[in-house]
Protein backbone atom coordinates (compact mmCIF):
# COMPACT_ATOMS: atom_id res chain seq x y z
CA UNK A 1 0.00 0.00 0.00
CA UNK A 2 1.63 3.22 -1.17
CA UNK A 3 0.88 6.12 1.17
CA UNK A 4 2.38 8.87 -0.98
CA UNK A 5 -0.57 10.26 -2.92
CA UNK A 6 -3.09 8.27 -0.89
CA UNK A 7 -6.06 9.79 0.93
CA UNK A 8 -6.31 8.73 4.57
CA UNK A 9 -8.88 9.23 7.29
CA UNK A 10 -7.74 8.98 10.91
CA UNK A 11 -10.21 8.74 13.79
CA UNK A 12 -9.32 10.28 17.13
CA UNK A 13 -6.82 12.76 15.67
CA UNK A 14 -7.10 15.31 18.48
CA UNK A 15 -4.37 13.75 20.64
CA UNK A 16 -2.04 10.85 21.28
CA UNK A 17 -1.43 8.23 18.64
CA UNK A 18 -4.15 9.53 16.32
CA UNK A 19 -2.47 12.94 16.18
CA UNK A 20 0.87 11.33 15.29
CA UNK A 21 -0.77 9.17 12.61
CA UNK A 22 -2.16 12.27 10.93
CA UNK A 23 1.15 14.13 11.11
CA UNK A 24 3.16 11.18 9.80
CA UNK A 25 0.75 10.53 6.94
CA UNK A 26 1.08 14.13 5.81
CA UNK A 27 4.86 13.81 6.00
CA UNK A 28 4.63 10.80 3.69
CA UNK A 29 2.69 12.73 1.09
CA UNK A 30 -0.87 11.63 1.87
CA UNK A 31 -3.98 13.76 1.98
CA UNK A 32 -5.42 13.47 5.48
CA UNK A 33 -8.84 13.81 7.02
CA UNK A 34 -8.17 14.33 10.74
CA UNK A 35 -11.33 13.55 12.68
CA UNK A 36 -12.46 13.86 16.28
CA UNK A 37 -15.60 14.32 18.34
CA UNK A 38 -14.25 17.78 19.18
CA UNK A 39 -12.64 19.00 15.96
CA UNK A 40 -11.62 22.29 17.58
CA UNK A 41 -8.97 20.31 19.49
CA UNK A 42 -7.32 18.92 16.36
CA UNK A 43 -4.01 20.64 15.63
CA UNK A 44 -2.65 19.06 12.46
CA UNK A 45 -1.61 21.74 9.95
CA UNK A 46 -2.32 20.61 6.41
CA UNK A 47 -5.09 18.18 7.32
CA UNK A 48 -8.79 18.60 6.58
CA UNK A 49 -10.51 18.46 9.96
CA UNK A 50 -13.93 16.82 10.31
CA UNK A 51 -16.19 16.22 13.28
CA UNK A 52 -16.78 12.51 13.85
CA UNK A 53 -18.31 10.45 16.63
CA UNK A 54 -17.80 6.82 15.66
CA UNK A 55 -20.60 5.70 18.00
CA UNK A 56 -23.17 7.96 16.25
CA UNK A 57 -24.47 6.40 13.00
CA UNK A 58 -25.53 9.79 11.61
CA UNK A 59 -22.06 11.23 12.23
CA UNK A 60 -20.39 8.23 10.57
CA UNK A 61 -22.69 8.52 7.55
CA UNK A 62 -22.04 12.25 7.22
CA UNK A 63 -18.27 11.80 7.23
CA UNK A 64 -18.48 8.96 4.71
CA UNK A 65 -20.42 11.30 2.42
CA UNK A 66 -17.82 14.07 2.81
CA UNK A 67 -14.75 11.84 2.46
CA UNK A 68 -15.56 9.79 -0.60
CA UNK A 69 -11.98 9.81 -1.86
CA UNK A 70 -10.52 7.83 1.08
CA UNK A 71 -8.41 4.78 0.32
CA UNK A 72 -6.78 4.37 3.77
CA UNK A 73 -8.91 4.14 6.93
CA UNK A 74 -7.17 4.21 10.31
CA UNK A 75 -9.48 3.23 13.15
CA UNK A 76 -7.76 4.71 16.17
CA UNK A 77 -10.51 6.37 18.25
CA UNK A 78 -11.71 4.37 21.25
CA UNK A 79 -12.89 4.67 24.82
CA UNK A 80 -10.14 3.17 27.00
CA UNK A 81 -11.49 3.51 30.54
CA UNK A 82 -14.07 0.77 31.10
CA UNK A 83 -12.71 -0.47 34.42
CA UNK A 84 -13.07 -4.03 35.59
CA UNK A 85 -15.81 -6.29 34.26
CA UNK A 86 -17.20 -7.61 37.55
CA UNK A 87 -16.91 -4.53 39.73
CA UNK A 88 -16.88 -1.69 37.19
CA UNK A 89 -19.67 0.62 36.10
CA UNK A 90 -21.78 -1.15 33.48
CA UNK A 91 -22.33 2.01 31.43
CA UNK A 92 -18.56 2.54 31.22
CA UNK A 93 -18.10 -1.08 30.14
CA UNK A 94 -20.74 -0.66 27.44
CA UNK A 95 -19.12 2.58 26.25
CA UNK A 96 -15.76 0.87 25.91
CA UNK A 97 -17.25 -1.98 23.90
CA UNK A 98 -19.39 0.41 21.86
CA UNK A 99 -16.43 2.47 20.67
CA UNK A 100 -13.82 -0.26 20.24
CA UNK A 101 -16.08 -2.83 18.61
CA UNK A 102 -19.27 -1.31 17.27
CA UNK A 103 -17.72 2.06 16.45
CA UNK A 104 -14.90 0.42 14.53
CA UNK A 105 -17.38 -1.82 12.76
CA UNK A 106 -19.57 1.16 11.85
CA UNK A 107 -16.59 2.89 10.25
CA UNK A 108 -15.64 -0.22 8.29
CA UNK A 109 -19.19 -0.79 7.07
CA UNK A 110 -19.47 2.85 5.96
CA UNK A 111 -16.09 2.98 4.21
CA UNK A 112 -15.79 -0.53 2.73
CA UNK A 113 -17.75 0.42 -0.42
CA UNK A 114 -15.73 3.64 -0.69
CA UNK A 115 -12.47 1.71 -0.51
CA UNK A 116 -13.75 -0.75 -3.10
CA UNK A 117 -14.71 2.08 -5.43
CA UNK A 118 -11.28 3.64 -4.99
CA UNK A 119 -9.33 0.49 -5.80
CA UNK A 120 -9.30 -1.49 -2.54
CA UNK A 121 -7.00 0.47 -0.28
CA UNK A 122 -6.35 -0.45 3.34
CA UNK A 123 -7.81 -0.46 6.82
CA UNK A 124 -5.64 -0.28 9.94
CA UNK A 125 -7.28 -1.06 13.27
CA UNK A 126 -5.42 0.07 16.39
CA UNK A 127 -5.66 -2.78 18.89
CA UNK A 128 -3.63 -3.48 22.04
CA UNK A 129 -1.56 -6.27 23.54
CA UNK A 130 -4.28 -6.23 26.21
CA UNK A 131 -6.37 -8.19 23.69
CA UNK A 132 -4.08 -11.16 24.38
CA UNK A 133 -3.00 -10.51 28.01
CA UNK A 134 -5.71 -8.88 30.09
CA UNK A 135 -5.09 -5.93 32.41
CA UNK A 136 -6.27 -6.00 36.02
CA UNK A 137 -7.89 -2.64 36.65
CA UNK A 138 -9.23 -2.36 33.11
CA UNK A 139 -10.39 -5.81 32.06
CA UNK A 140 -13.28 -4.23 30.13
CA UNK A 141 -10.81 -2.58 27.77
CA UNK A 142 -8.96 -5.87 27.31
CA UNK A 143 -12.23 -7.65 26.48
CA UNK A 144 -13.18 -4.93 24.00
CA UNK A 145 -9.80 -5.16 22.28
CA UNK A 146 -10.15 -8.96 22.13
CA UNK A 147 -13.48 -8.46 20.38
CA UNK A 148 -11.91 -5.93 18.00
CA UNK A 149 -9.17 -8.43 17.15
CA UNK A 150 -11.84 -10.95 16.17
CA UNK A 151 -13.62 -8.25 14.17
CA UNK A 152 -10.38 -7.42 12.35
CA UNK A 153 -9.75 -11.04 11.40
CA UNK A 154 -13.32 -11.46 10.17
CA UNK A 155 -13.36 -8.26 8.12
CA UNK A 156 -10.03 -9.21 6.54
CA UNK A 157 -11.65 -12.31 5.06
CA UNK A 158 -14.80 -10.48 3.99
CA UNK A 159 -12.95 -7.69 2.19
CA UNK A 160 -10.22 -9.77 0.57
CA UNK A 161 -12.11 -10.09 -2.72
CA UNK A 162 -12.33 -6.30 -3.13
CA UNK A 163 -8.58 -5.99 -2.64
CA UNK A 164 -8.67 -4.22 0.74
CA UNK A 165 -5.73 -4.85 3.05
CA UNK A 166 -6.96 -5.16 6.65
CA UNK A 167 -4.20 -4.81 9.22
CA UNK A 168 -3.98 -4.68 13.00
CA UNK A 169 -1.54 -2.61 15.03
CA UNK A 170 -1.00 -4.39 18.36
CA UNK A 171 1.19 -2.32 20.69
CA UNK A 172 1.95 -2.65 24.38
CA UNK A 173 2.47 0.52 26.39
CA UNK A 174 1.99 3.65 24.30
CA UNK A 175 3.27 6.82 25.94
CA UNK A 176 0.10 8.86 25.75
CA UNK A 177 -1.71 10.84 28.42
CA UNK A 178 -4.30 8.07 28.57
CA UNK A 179 -1.65 5.58 29.70
CA UNK A 180 -0.16 7.97 32.26
CA UNK A 181 -3.64 8.75 33.64
CA UNK A 182 -4.37 5.02 33.98
CA UNK A 183 -1.09 4.42 35.83
CA UNK A 184 -1.82 7.29 38.19
CA UNK A 185 -5.40 6.16 38.81
CA UNK A 186 -4.48 2.54 39.52
CA UNK A 187 -1.13 3.11 41.20
CA UNK A 188 0.55 0.70 38.77
CA UNK A 189 4.15 1.72 38.02
CA UNK A 190 5.14 1.92 34.36
CA UNK A 191 8.37 0.25 33.18
CA UNK A 192 9.86 3.24 31.38
CA UNK A 193 11.97 1.16 29.02
CA UNK A 194 8.82 -0.49 27.63
CA UNK A 195 6.80 2.67 27.02
CA UNK A 196 6.74 3.42 23.28
CA UNK A 197 6.78 6.94 21.92
CA UNK A 198 3.53 7.37 19.93
CA UNK A 199 5.39 9.10 17.09
CA UNK A 200 7.68 6.07 16.76
CA UNK A 201 4.67 3.75 16.88
CA UNK A 202 2.90 5.67 14.11
CA UNK A 203 5.97 5.30 11.91
CA UNK A 204 6.22 1.57 12.70
CA UNK A 205 2.55 1.07 11.86
CA UNK A 206 2.69 2.96 8.57
CA UNK A 207 5.89 1.15 7.56
CA UNK A 208 4.03 -2.12 8.16
CA UNK A 209 1.01 -0.94 6.22
CA UNK A 210 3.18 0.01 3.25
CA UNK A 211 4.85 -3.40 3.45
CA UNK A 212 1.48 -5.17 3.36
CA UNK A 213 1.71 -6.64 6.87
CA UNK A 214 -1.55 -7.83 8.42
CA UNK A 215 -0.32 -7.66 12.03
CA UNK A 216 2.13 -5.00 13.19
CA UNK A 217 3.59 -5.63 16.63
CA UNK A 218 5.99 -3.87 18.95
CA UNK A 219 8.07 -5.91 21.42
CA UNK A 220 5.33 -6.25 24.03
CA UNK A 221 2.76 -7.07 21.34
CA UNK A 222 5.01 -9.79 19.94
CA UNK A 223 5.55 -11.22 23.43
CA UNK A 224 1.81 -11.23 24.10
CA UNK A 225 1.09 -13.01 20.80
CA UNK A 226 3.71 -15.65 21.56
CA UNK A 227 2.18 -16.13 25.00
CA UNK A 228 -1.10 -17.31 23.49
CA UNK A 229 0.51 -20.73 23.14
CA UNK A 230 0.66 -21.01 26.94
CA UNK A 231 -1.88 -20.66 29.76
CA UNK A 232 -3.92 -17.42 30.03
CA UNK A 233 -2.10 -14.66 31.86
CA UNK A 234 -2.51 -11.06 32.97
CA UNK A 235 -0.45 -8.21 31.63
CA UNK A 236 2.44 -7.71 34.06
CA UNK A 237 3.76 -4.20 34.64
From the number of C-beta atoms within 10 Å of its C-beta (0-12, 13-18, 19+), residue 190 rates as middle
Report the chain's terminal Cα–Cα distance, integer Å: 35
Other Cβ atoms within 10 Å of 26 Cβ, number:
17
Cα three-residue angle 107-28-15, rounded to 5 degrees:
50
Nearest Cα residue to 59 out of 68, 70, 50: 50
Compute φ and ψ for 134, nearest 5 degrees: -65, 165
> Catalytic annotation on 141?
yes
Catalytic residues: 141
Amino acid sequence: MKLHGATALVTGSNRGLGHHFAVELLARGAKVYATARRPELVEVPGAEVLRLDITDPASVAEVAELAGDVDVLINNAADTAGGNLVSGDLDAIRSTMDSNYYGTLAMIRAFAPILARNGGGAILNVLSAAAWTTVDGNTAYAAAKSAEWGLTNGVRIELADQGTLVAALVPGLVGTQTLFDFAERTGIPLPEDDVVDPADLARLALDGLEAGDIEILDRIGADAKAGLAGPPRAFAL
